Structure 1
Amino acid sequence: MKLVIVANRLPYRVRPDGALELSPGGLVSGLLSFFRAAELQTDDYLWIGWPGNEGNEDPKLREALAHRRAFPVFLDAKAGMTKGSAARRFLRDQSFIFAAGDDVTDEDLFRALPETAIAVRVGAKPSHATYAVPTPQDLRKILEAFAVRS
């Protein structure tokens, strides 16, 4: 199984000194507990998202992130780089797709997913997602249920 996560942010952020550290936040902490419960290894997943700094496309940064199975995407709707275009690039051959998000940029992702994907909007705003949950804690419960059943 390969889990592909397309998110606002990568699970790592770049400090001003150029070093990587774990990002704080609900999605990262929720998924880390899922990874531990499912006993996922680094090769079992890849994470696609913004690295937390504008325009830093330094090859050393990309290499360090790739070593951690994290691939930076610098969103630029005018240039055609959206979460949806990133998803189409990385999700071509995936048999199971679960997407979740709470941001307006996640709507590009939800629209790009195949009909077989499960898409979850976190929050009460209108969405192209197939399902919605009120809070990040509710999403975490869903992910924990996946971990128990896998």
Structure 2
Amino acid sequence: MTAAVRQARRADLPAIVAMLADDVLGQSREAAGPPLDPAYAEAFAAIARDPNQFMAVLEDDGELIGYLQLTFIPGLSLKGMLRGQIESVRIASSRRGRGFGHLMLQWAIEECRRRGCGLVQLAMNKSREDTLRFYQSLGFVASHEGFKLTLV
């Protein structure tokens, strides 16, 4: 496998948004364009300025095939343990089932370890049963129940 993880660049944004929109849930909540909604560029810039955020892409032979966002969360509980939060994990639909997701998540876990995180957490939509099995195969445990409150 020749794929490599790197930091996302502004020029990657159309491909990232296309991946976010490329599933049943994403189709109903993303606006892949063209033209690309300016809100995505504003969000990208805000995330890029924050030192506790990292947008990673997976590239294979010059093609962008994966994306995730890491957030590093300082906290007081667990003796001030730093946490890594993984969000918006996507692999291009044409590349799923080939080990790229494992490669990208293993990179994210190691990056969290490198930055001093004591745990890595993530959330997923309960309707994605295959995704649950995928995260469990990487050692994640469904230890907590999560809640969301939509404000917009």
* TM-score, scaled relative to structure 1: 0.37
- Determine which structure has greater relative contact order: mean sequence separation of CA pairs < 8 Å that are 6+ residues apart, divided by chain length: 1
